[in-house]
A and B are shown apart, each in its own frame.
Chain A
Amino acid sequence: MDIYVQLLVNSLQIGAVYVLFSLGLTLIFGVMRIVNFAHGEFFALAALLVAVAVPWLIDFGAPLPVAYGLAFLGALAGVLVLGKILYEFAFRRFQRDMIGSFVLSVGLALLLQGLYIEIFSSASRKLPTLIEGTLRILGGAITTQRLVLCVIALLVAVGMYWAIASTRLGKALRAVSEDHEAAMLQGIPYRRIALSGFLIGTLLAAVAGALLAPVVVIGPVIGSSYLIKGFIAVVIGGLGSIPGAIIGSILIAVIESVGGYYFDPSLATIAMFVMVMVVLLVRPAGIMGNG
């Protein structure tokens, strides 16, 4: 019994990051109809900035929590700036052009990753543990800070869900997602909404990266592995669907932890990819999607 709980707990913690990551990805697709292959690099930048800033701030004499807090905010700011720049100079021209934007985002992802390797060097970094301790929940062990990560991810996910459903911005985002021409006819300022959607999506990736930094070893190519899983999650759940992104993320987290434990990790990955192919062919809209 213990092993099942442990696997479940592992899935939750892996899933937490995937959820944040995928929410951003699906939101950007929903609002702008672009497949943003560079999403992983926003995530990676946030993680790298935190991983670099915290030791630096500590050297300056800041206590660990403060250093982390400042680094966290700094990372978010940095990523948002990058996002805005890329939006203005690149993505804005390619909205609703799935192939063109995809190609562009592939180029950007490659370019950014190369730059990260140059700037941040290939060294992997591990931050000092922020919150000590391990908790036992129903027989499964989880470090306290991973638990905090899960809780925050959960709060953000719930918050997003609520915001999309209830706030004006959320409703506008949904309207644009469903039918952007009708939305424009109703007077919704499409340009501004698209930018907001893009930035919120990017921010989510940044939060995921910044939260992950103290928990896992960070290297400059971390963007790619999360990107691929993120896409799988989003496609299975339904491109453009918020609940779909959550379901998809948890699903692949479960496959990864269960598959990785009973079989081997690459077999688990194969299974995931096969699942993606099946979903795309049988029900391209995904589990929750509306195409």
Chain B
Amino acid sequence: MAKLPRALLAAASLCAVIGSYFSGSDFAANLIIWVAINVLMTASFRFVLLIGELNFAMAGFVGIGAYAGGIATTMYHLPLALALLLGAAAAGLISLVVGFVTLRAKGAYFLLVSFAFTEVLRLIYSKVDVIGGNSGMIGIFPPAYLARFYPTIVVLVVLFFLFVLYRMERSDFGKILVAIRNNDDLVQTVGIDVHLTKVWCLGIASFVTGICGALLAHANNVISPGDFSFLVAVYTLAYLKVGGESHILGAVLGAIVLTLLAQYALGFGAYEHIFYGAAIVIGVLLLPDGLFGLAQRMLPGRRRPEGSGS
């Protein structure tokens, strides 16, 4: 699918950047920020799916990124870029340690451990008063002179890391990840330490997830433990299922479509559950390749097999 006209993608990205700058109303600006962050979260969730695991610890790392970024800004008054990087670094480093331990488990077991980890983190946040305990942390703002540009900053950061994830996936390292998902014993036998590779995969994805968390913190200005429950991973899963897992653009598409649809479909809390639940069920039962896969099949022209050798 490298054949998707690069020009088209570049143009779309440029539009996104420009559009974000001229977004005008608060509502539109917030929507753009929300969509962009969801896109990157879905892409980073998908990155771990390359090794065949559902990263239900994701919310935990979003939270780490958010709190780290929030602490950097509110307690140490560091510049925004540094706050974002610290959020990412904290999430990435902690994920290396956690991953080393938890990635010994696979499939359903890894899922449950990750889920447990997220809940433990959330409970811990609610108990630690210095970061606000159950009420959370407030006053996380980007510096005043940047506030006007914040949507554009978010879009730029998201586009950058999307590109990074895409390049990693297409590199030889990315092929190892997919190979691990296919047959990890075979990968061991050709000299690659599968466990360490999985840990790195999680580390990279969590670094990006941490950025999302930090971006989120500065966008909402307030964060609390309840923002980081396992539902985050569930919603991200919905975006991915609907958009399509097989290509990074599926993650982008799913996040954009569902986030925008949700805006129009949502009334009360209940509808949110019904909406996302139905999205997942429909995605799994009816759209095994997602919207992106559907689009791929419907568009005329070349169809190359997955993972072409060059």
A/B touching: CB–CB < 8 A: yes
A273 touches B270 (CB 8 A): no
B237 touches A106 (CB 8 A): yes
Within the complex, which residue of A99, A107, A269, A273 is in contact with B54, where a contact is CB–CB below 8 Å? A99
Interface bits B132-171 vs A (CB < 8 Å: 1, else 0) = 0000000000000000000000000000000000000000
- Interface assignment of A131: CB less than 8 Å from any CB of chain B: no
Which residue of A is nearest B280, CB measured? A107
- Interface assignment of B112: CB less than 8 Å from any CB of chain A: yes
Given contacts A99-B108, A108-B277, A277 and B117 within 8 Å (CB-CB): yes
The minimal Cβ–Cβ distance linking B140 to chain A, given in whole angstroms, is 24
Given contacts A114-B270, A266-B126, A280-B112, A273 and B281 within 8 Å (CB-CB): no
Interface residues on A, range: 35 or more
How far is it, in angstroms, between the C-alpha of A103 and the C-alpha of B116 when the chains are bound? 17
- Interface assignment of A112: CB less than 8 Å from any CB of chain B: yes
**B173 cross-chain contacts in A, Cβ below 8 A:** none
B234 touches A110 (CB 8 A): yes
- Interface assignment of A231: CB less than 8 Å from any CB of chain B: yes
**A281 cross-chain contacts in B, Cβ below 8 A:** 101-102, 104-105, 113
How far is it, in angstroms, between the C-alpha of A280 and the C-alpha of B112 when the chains are bound? 8
How far is it, in angstroms, between the C-alpha of A273 and the C-alpha of B230 when the chains are bound? 14
Within the complex, which residue of A110, A266, A277 is in contact with B127, where a contact is CB–CB below 8 Å? A266
Given contacts A110-B280, A114-B274, A270-B120, A102 and B238 within 8 Å (CB-CB): no
A104 touches B284 (CB 8 A): yes
The minimal Cβ–Cβ distance linking A259 to chain B, given in whole angstroms, is 12
A35 touches B111 (CB 8 A): yes
| A contacts with B: majority SS | helix
B277 touches A35 (CB 8 A): no
**B10 cross-chain contacts in A, Cβ below 8 A:** none
**B119 cross-chain contacts in A, Cβ below 8 A:** 228, 269, 273
- Interface assignment of B276: CB less than 8 Å from any CB of chain A: yes
Interface bits A85-115 vs B (CB < 8 Å: 1, else 0) = 0000110010000111011101111111111
**B108 cross-chain contacts in A, Cβ below 8 A:** 35, 98-99, 102, 239
- Interface assignment of A117: CB less than 8 Å from any CB of chain B: yes
How far is it, in angstroms, between the C-alpha of A44 and the C-alpha of B107 when the chains are bound? 27
- Interface assignment of A14: CB less than 8 Å from any CB of chain B: no
The minimal Cβ–Cβ distance linking A160 to chain B, given in whole angstroms, is 23
The minimal Cβ–Cβ distance linking A53 to chain B, given in whole angstroms, is 22
How far is it, in angstroms, between the C-alpha of A50 and the C-alpha of B284 when the chains are bound? 32
Interface bits A194-209 vs B (CB < 8 Å: 1, else 0) = 0000000000000000
Within the complex, which residue of B120, B123, B272, B281 is in contact with A104, where a contact is CB–CB below 8 Å? B281
How far is it, in angstroms, between the C-alpha of A235 and the C-alpha of B112 when the chains are bound? 9
**B102 cross-chain contacts in A, Cβ below 8 A:** 277, 281
- Interface assignment of A118: CB less than 8 Å from any CB of chain B: yes
A115 touches B111 (CB 8 A): no
B277 touches A109 (CB 8 A): yes
**A98 cross-chain contacts in B, Cβ below 8 A:** 107-108
Interface bits B275-292 vs A (CB < 8 Å: 1, else 0) = 111111101110000000
Which residue of B is nearest A117, CB measured? B270
Given contacts A102-B108, A269-B123, A273-B120, A110 and B284 within 8 Å (CB-CB): no
**A80 cross-chain contacts in B, Cβ below 8 A:** none
**A75 cross-chain contacts in B, Cβ below 8 A:** none
**B285 cross-chain contacts in A, Cβ below 8 A:** 89-90, 93, 104
Interface residues on B, range: 35 or more
A280 touches B113 (CB 8 A): yes
B274 touches A99 (CB 8 A): no
- Interface assignment of B271: CB less than 8 Å from any CB of chain A: yes
Chain A residues numbered 140-161 whose CB sits less than 8 Å from any CB in chain B: none
- Interface assignment of A170: CB less than 8 Å from any CB of chain B: no
How far is it, in angstroms, between the C-alpha of A103 and the C-alpha of B284 when the chains are bound? 8
B274 touches A111 (CB 8 A): yes
**B241 cross-chain contacts in A, Cβ below 8 A:** 103, 107
- Interface assignment of A274: CB less than 8 Å from any CB of chain B: yes
- Interface assignment of B109: CB less than 8 Å from any CB of chain A: yes
Most buried by B among A89, A104, A111, A267: A111
**B113 cross-chain contacts in A, Cβ below 8 A:** 276-277, 280-281
Which residue of B is nearest A106, CB measured? B234
A276 touches B109 (CB 8 A): no
A103 touches B277 (CB 8 A): no
The minimal Cβ–Cβ distance linking B265 to chain A, given in whole angstroms, is 11
A90 touches B281 (CB 8 A): yes
How far is it, in angstroms, between the C-alpha of A239 and the C-alpha of B108 when the chains are bound? 10
The minimal Cβ–Cβ distance linking B229 to chain A, given in whole angstroms, is 10
How far is it, in angstroms, between the C-alpha of A267 and the C-alpha of B124 when the chains are bound? 9
A107 touches B123 (CB 8 A): no
- Interface assignment of A55: CB less than 8 Å from any CB of chain B: no
**B273 cross-chain contacts in A, Cβ below 8 A:** 110-111, 113-114, 117
A107 touches B270 (CB 8 A): no
Within the complex, which residue of B52, B107, B116 is in contact with A273, where a contact is CB–CB below 8 Å? B116
**B279 cross-chain contacts in A, Cβ below 8 A:** 107
How far is it, in angstroms, between the C-alpha of A266 and the C-alpha of B134 when the chains are bound? 12
A107 touches B278 (CB 8 A): yes
Given contacts A114-B271, A277-B113, A103 and B237 within 8 Å (CB-CB): yes
Chain A residues numbered 243-272 whose CB sits less than 8 Å from any CB in chain B: 266-267, 269-270
The list of the 8 closest CB pairs from A to B, nearest first, reads: A107-B280, A111-B277, A114-B273, A110-B277, A114-B274, A117-B270, A107-B281, A273-B116
Binding site for A on B (CB under 8 A): 52, 54, 101-102, 104-105, 107-109, 111-113, 116-117, 119-120, 123-124, 126-127, 234, 237-238, 241, 269-281, 283-285
